[in-house]
Amino acid sequence: MNTVPKIALGAWSWGAGAAGGDQVFGSHLFEDDLRPVFDKAMECGLTLWDTAAVYGEGTSERILGSFVKDVSREQVIISTKFTPQIASDSLEAMQEMLDGSKAHLHFRM
């Protein structure tokens, strides 16, 4: 993928929990409901996905990760964020959160 798309699709309402879709947006959608959305978006060329460890207490990243594992790394762009409010007190807090995100967002190579 040579350029960053102009449109990102947000996964902030995916999942459950304190910052998840069911609490914030009244959404009760999970993998079975969201897979067709992901597949159609990818089919239409919408390949930039926005997520964060805090969305649904990690549920957003886990759901998105379960979808992107079936596509090659070159076909999708993931935007995730460091969230200080849920980070540890460690001097390596940012790296720890990145490692946790990478654990959810696996790609087929």
Which residues are catalytic, by number? 55
Side-chain half-sphere of 92: how many Cα atoms within 13 Å?
4
Structure tokens at 21: 């879709």
Six-digit token string for 41? 């978006």
* Length reported for the chain: 109
Q: Cite the beta strand spans of the chain per DSSP E.
A: 8-10, 48-50, 77-79
Q: Which residues pair with 79 in a beta bridge?
A: 50
Contact predicate 80/105, CB 8 Å: yes
